Chains A and B, each alone.
Chain A
């Protein structure tokens, strides 16, 4: 099972965190500090797996972002590498050549997409097309709802409530 997903950039700033097991806020920041230390100090030619406190950390670097996932000892590391790649490809398809800025400004969207890919620490949807379709559908729903809400009549009714 995947315990958490963290995206850090080369300077150590966090771009996304999702926790599938329980950790308190203090534990989370501690884990993050440790992780950034470990992952950022590894060179480019080294293998993508780190042993950490009885768990394994699988990470991969895409441009300036490190995608890290923490798994149990028995899990298959290559599978998780593929999951990471899967997620990145979906992001790419959605945002169109995704870069770090996209993730910074579309913070919530990144979460929604991650929720379609992984649920409860397991892979949910291996097909990129389906996910793209799902997210697009959700987006359009939101758009139509927004339009409705943004219509003049609504604004007036809201203001006079």
Chain B
């Protein structure tokens, strides 16, 4: 370092004095560590003190002091996570130091703490990095031949796009010369490439040349670099031309690390080019048979299973190896990996999974959490219609015995897979419904929402399962202990709703009413209580009706009288309840009760008791119409009539609709039987009943002047009207549910499906994920370089030949090969598209077949 210009004497004495003091009394890193270890309780204060010391020391002009301060700071930052950004400038100051120790320290600090997002000083280091990178060519520092490795590390960890583009040319000589630094240079190169695609023209060719280098380390590093560059979020297609090189590496290399990386690259390339698959089967089988290294065997298995499902010989080998892994009792790692790879076999080779069924079942009970997870995944993959019953029963039983987290995971996976595709897996709904009841009873179950949704869903769609549903619901309702469990309240709501709706299947209505009105129901939240009360109304109606008809033996005079008195007794006090939902329904119920109060004294004389008959018949008619589920898109299917002017009509109502109401009436017609926000004081009726006829309700409606829209039934008029049907008029046909596609299977009860809206809703999310491929400037640039180097802009020809092969295949995994880089418009189209496999029209004129394809063809011949 050049000596600073002479300062006036006084200041120099002072500064040197302070620096001397600093350097003499400076605590070294060892001292710091010792002090930290000696007194663990006062760690924060020691750290705070050191930090302030460091701040002072690091500003000193003496490089030694600075470096020791930096050393301490690195320690503190790395192990105690203090921010190092204030020292960024000083680190930069130390980078050019001639002493290798200081230099190393400074570079270490820089690579640990610099990052484009945390410090803007990074560009200042450019010149120094440049000097250090090229120092080998300038013969001055032959004493430190490893010097460039330091900036290489920094580049690979903390670089920014600008820095990379400036320093890229300096990497080239390091890449081409065969030296111990070459592998490091390769690693730094791949980082630079992924950060800054504009450096591709400069750096890519030397990188490819490294693949054929003599130094096996370089080759290994190069293969590793390509492996990372072609890793999932990026597009592996541009690396296809490198396949021959990598194949050579695969066959010749002795090092396991290299082989593993090469296999990974192939596993990404084979889906794009199936002929590659036939070529690598040979070496793969050889490895599978002979290799001792478990890691290599594992990688081979993964490659074979994921890309070569049609080569039976290789698959057989791989499956045998998997079985071996599974059976290694003493090594949990191998068992875990065996389960994982077994899961990869799932859709195509279920027979292999079947053979290992017991092992998987046993692994479910393993004390090791990771193994249990994998086993669960494999079980779910194995479940088909035929064996769903035993699998699910086994799983639920296991869930009852496991700890809360795993139990919920099991329940979650059982629920999701059984309800997929409209309960595709379930053949015996009676069994499934009782399973749902059992699941609700499991101690740590938090899946109440899903269970209740499925119970109601099945009730709506599967007629034949209704008796069983009612039985399960009855059991749930009777049990007083469940009422206290706050996870289960929506399951209980569902049970109550089911009992009310399908009360005709119930064996003992009186028991139901007693269960619904038991004292502990006060523990339930308002929404659930509302449903309970409504169900009581339905049960009462049914009972009265059957009493009049004298159709049921269960309901005779005494029973009815008891029912009525029980209801009045228990529900009466609730009439004053503060909860609007409960109060509303209670008053309905009480109204009906009073109207039919004398039903037990019914005489044959219809005139005297005409009103009672009338009321009962009407109520029964009210509840007897079956309303099916309405799809989410039903409203959209209703075409707006020509002469309808939407805006005007709605505007009138703005005076008495609050925001809350408007949202509710327009909102989702999903199967809800309790409102979402109970805080509104307005009564928003969202239950399954659309029109009720009792007088109290009529007055109520008159008061508020709103027509209650039920979410189960979409009206044809989009506007809110004031009219509602008269007493004996039949309800308007619900245009909401349109064509029903009924799935018919032998012996399996019919599950009512709705129109296409439901199908599409679930599949569109999947397809956008599949189609979404990032518009990758890197891959485009690489393509250009690789194919452009063959002279005549042969990019389109390459695509013409390969996409002609690709056209027939339907497998989706990122198959689309880009014809040009940066096709923004087309990629947007893809995102909007649905499940159809879109083929990109190539706007480029087809050029005569260029040299690129012969490279592969010759090789593969």
Contacts and interface: CB of A to CB of B under 8 A. Distances in A.
Given A1-B228, A124-B184, A159-B16, A79 B257 contact: yes
B78 A77 contact: no
Nearest to A137: B146
A76 B299 contact: yes
Interface string B255-274: 11100100010000000000
Contacts of A120: 156-157, 187-188, 190-191
Contacts of A76: 260, 264, 295, 298-299, 302
B100 A158 contact: no
A40 to B, nearest CB: 14
Interface stretch (B328-336, B497-505, B737-745, B847-855): B328-336
Contacts of B143: 141
Given A76-B260, A120-B191, A126-B257, A108 B108 contact: yes
B115 interface: yes
Interface string A150-161: 000000001111
A24 B119 CA distance: 12
A10 B749 CA distance: 58
Nearest to B302: A76
A108 B370 contact: no
Contacts of B294: 78
B183 interface: yes
Contacts of B105: 108
Contacts of A22: 115, 117
Nearest to A77: B337
A64 interface: no
B335 A104 contact: no
Given A47-B336, A161-B16, A122 B79 contact: no
A139 to B, nearest CB: 10
Interface in B89-112: 99-101, 104-105, 108, 112
Interface in B57-73: 61-62, 64, 71
Contacts of B82: 25
Given A25-B81, A105-B30, A78 B337 contact: yes
Nearest to A149: B99
Contact of B370 (A16, A47, A119): A47
A159 B20 contact: yes
B525 interface: no
Interface in A1-35: 1, 14-18, 20, 22, 24-25, 28-29, 32
Interface in A99-143: 104-105, 107-108, 111-112, 115, 119-126, 130, 134, 137-138, 141-142
A50 to B, nearest CB: 6
B144 interface: yes
B30 A124 contact: no
Contacts of B298: 76-78
Given A22-B117, A134-B146, A50 B370 contact: yes
Nearest to B217: A125
A19 B367 CA distance: 32
B373 interface: yes
A138 B146 contact: yes
A76 B290 CA distance: 19
A46 B187 contact: no
B695 interface: no
A146 B370 contact: no
B191 A82 contact: no
A53 interface: no
Contact of A74 (B61, B232, B335, B369): B232
Contact of A158 (B62, B149, B224, B256): B62
B367 A43 contact: yes
B456 interface: no
Given A43-B367, A46-B367, A141-B100, A28 B81 contact: yes
B539 interface: no
A119 B231 contact: no
Contacts of B112: 18
Contacts of B257: 79, 123, 126
B250 interface: no
B4 interface: yes
A119 B75 contact: no
Given A17-B78, A160-B16, A79 B29 contact: no
A66 to B, nearest CB: 15
A81 B118 CA distance: 32
A125 B20 CA distance: 43
Interface in B262-308: 264, 294-295, 298-299, 302
B371 interface: yes
A9 B176 CA distance: 43
A79 B373 CA distance: 22
B42 interface: no
B33 interface: yes
Contacts of A24: 117-118
Contact of B335 (A47, A115, A160): A47
A92 interface: no
A114 B3 CA distance: 36
Contact of A29 (B81, B153, B299, B337): B81
Contacts of B83: 25
B221 interface: yes
Contacts of B336: 47, 49
B614 interface: no
A74 B264 contact: yes
Nearest to B85: A25
A46 to B, nearest CB: 4
A145 interface: yes
A14 B79 contact: yes
A38 to B, nearest CB: 10
Given A108-B74, A120-B187, A161 B3 contact: yes
A47 B75 contact: no
Given A49-B336, A145-B99, A149-B99, A1 B231 contact: yes
B180 interface: yes
B823 interface: no
B403 to A, nearest CB: 13
A2 to B, nearest CB: 11
Given A46-B368, A79-B257, A122 B231 contact: no
B765 to A, nearest CB: 18
Interface of B: 3-4, 16, 20, 29-30, 33, 37, 61-62, 64, 71, 74-75, 78-79, 81-83, 99-101, 104-105, 108, 112, 115, 117-118, 143-144, 146, 149, 152-153, 156-157, 180, 183-184, 187-188, 190-191, 217, 220-221, 224-225, 228, 231-232, 255-257, 260, 264, 294-295, 298-299, 302, 332-333, 335-337, 367-371, 373
Given A123-B257, A124-B187, 16 more contacts: A24-B117, A25-B81, A45-B368, A46-B368, A46-B369, A51-B373, A79-B256, A104-B37, A108-B71, A120-B157, A124-B183, A126-B257, A130-B180, A134-B180, A142-B101, A145-B101
6 contacts: A46-B367, A47-B368, A107-B75, A112-B104, A119-B188, A120-B188
Closest 8 CB pairs of A and B: A78-B295, A47-B332, A120-B156, A46-B368, A120-B187, A119-B187, A47-B336, A79-B295
